[in-house]
Amino acid sequence: MPASSVSLTNVYKAFKGFKGEEILAVDDVSFRIEPGAFVTLLGPSGCGKTTSLRMIAGFENPTKGKIKIDEEDVTFIPPWKRDTAMVFQSYGLFPHMNVGDNVGYGLKMRKVTTSERHKKVSAILDLVGLSGFEERPPSSLSGGQQQRVALARALVVEPSVLLFDEPLSNLDVLLREQMRVEIRRIQQKTGITAIYVTHDRTEAMTLSDTVIVMNKGKIVQTGTPFDIYEEPNSIFVADFMGKMAYFPVKILAWEGKDAIVELYDKKLSVRVAKNVTPNDSQRYILACRPESMKMQENGKGVVPGVITTNVYLGNAIESYIKTEFGEVMVKSELPKEGLRPEGSPVSLSIREDKAVLLPLDPGIDGLSLNKANI
């Protein structure tokens, strides 16, 4: 299948609110997606993900800025003249048409002959794992199957960019996991450019080559799933990607990309968040993922605490530890000698290669972060 690049340059979208007030849904967004890449727009509700996607599809015009598909300026080109197709959360199938006609609808509109249409519909149903479903009415299909039909309908017209707006939100957890793998498999097999909108970090992590994290209409970080999880550039991104423990530290020295910090009289050499230039007038806090800390015998680690709760997850244990800095969570495998009981005093050691020093906004109390985090 063809694959195009997509680029947004300084794109803004302002809506008029109920009272005539201006809502800046997308605020100076720029990015470029290479042909064949799988890119996710990730962020909390209302951050401008759907609006960005709708502008790429042409359902919405930007207030300012430029959108290009390949090198063609499509900013004000109507949707049907763009080489994009979209898959929605509500599958949007035509209830009175069978699966074959639903999938073949776009081809019919493009005046593709009946025999050619049947061939293409059958091939694409095969690709999404629904061979032989042509005659079935959509109402007789499960949610996952309906979403596969919607995906087939988008793919059959061989768009060069496939857009997804939270396509798995209506499915139960197991099906969502299955469909996630399926979508990635199909995207890789077809080589199509995919732009996927979600507020689910696991979905973003498992599907994407690149994740674009948005907040309040702006891009706050772009990177591989690894970068975004391991090297967030802000407390917002760190928290959005999963639990973090935060420790106030004293900075002793900057050493290139690292910093030497002091925590409970112990010196640690830790990374400084990407894109953050060390600056002595800025406040910082040390952030550590639950799996990058270890519970040690009393006194052997860095941060003393007491286990308040153990949560058994089958493949891991989440232990909540009360410390001087609030309650933090440590994720570990079940130790051979069994679970340390609640109430046990422990000492937390921190993996220096995994901990990251993040800037702390003025007015934010570093100690309150651990409370908010649980």
Closest to ligand ATP by CB, 61 or 279: 61
Q: Which of the choices ligand ATP, Mg ion, none does residue 199 contact, using the CB cut-off of 5 to 8 A by kind?
A: ligand ATP
Q: Does residue 48 interact with ligand ATP by CB under 6 A?
A: yes
Q: Are 161 and 70 in contact (CB under 8 A)?
A: no
Per-residue x/- track, 33-62, Mg ion (CB under 5 A):
-----------------x------------
Give me the least distance between CB of 112 and ligand ATP, in Å please: 33
Sign of the C-alpha dihedral computed for residues 139, 143, 147 and 152 taken in this order: negative
Beta bridge partners of 345: 306
Which positions from 241 through 270 interact with ligand ATP, judged by CB under 6 A? none
Question: Among 2, 35, 46, 143, which residue interacts with ligand ATP (rule: CB under 6 A)?
Answer: 46
Closest to ligand ATP by CB, 171 or 249: 171
Among the residue ranges 47-55, 265-273, 278-286, 293-301, the one whose residues contact ligand ATP (CB under 6 A)? 47-55
Angle, vertex CA 38, rays to CA 353 and CA 58, nearest 5: 135
How does strand 193-198 pair with strand 161-165? parallel
Rounded to whole angstroms, the Cα distance separating 193 from 190 reads 9
Q: Does residue 45 interact with ligand ATP by CB under 6 A?
A: yes
Question: Among 8, 11, 47, 121, which residue interacts with ligand ATP (rule: CB under 6 A)?
Answer: 47
How does strand 210-215 pair with strand 64-69? unpaired
Rounded to whole angstroms, the Cα distance separating 62 from 65 reads 6
Give me the least distance between CB of 47 and ligand ATP, in Å please: 4
Map tokens 């519909």 to a residue.
121
Q: Does residue 15 interact with ligand ATP by CB under 6 A?
A: yes
Q: Are 148 and 129 in contact (CB under 8 A)?
A: yes
Among the residue ranges 39-47, 269-277, 294-302, 346-354, the one whose residues contact ligand ATP (CB under 6 A)? 39-47
Give me the least distance between CB of 51 and ligand ATP, in Å please: 3
How many of the chain's residues bind Mg ion (CB under 5 A)?
1
Question: Among 7, 40, 50, 102, which residue interacts with ligand ATP (rule: CB under 6 A)?
Answer: 50
Among the residue ranges 44-52, 100-108, 289-297, 342-350, the one whose residues contact ligand ATP (CB under 6 A)? 44-52
Q: Does residue 57 interact with ligand ATP by CB under 6 A?
A: no
User: Quick one: CA torsion of 148, 149, 153, 159, rounded to 10 degrees?
Assistant: 0
SS (H, E, C) 123-183: HHHHHCCCCCCCCCCHHHCCHHHHHHHHHHHHHHCCCCEEEEECCCCCCCHHHHHHHHHHH
Q: Does residue 160 interact with Mg ion by CB under 5 A?
A: no
Q: Does residue 208 interact with ligand ATP by CB under 6 A?
A: no
User: Quick one: CA torsion of 121, 125, 126, 131, rounded to 10 degrees?
Assistant: -100
Give me the least distance between CB of 90 and ligand ATP, in Å please: 12
Q: Are 301 and 348 in contact (CB under 8 A)?
A: yes
Q: Does residue 27 interact with ligand ATP by CB under 6 A?
A: no
Give the up-direction half-sphere exposure of residue 78: CA atoms within 13 A in the CB hemisphere: 2
Which residues here bind ligand ATP, judged by CB under 6 A? 15, 23, 25, 43, 45-51, 199
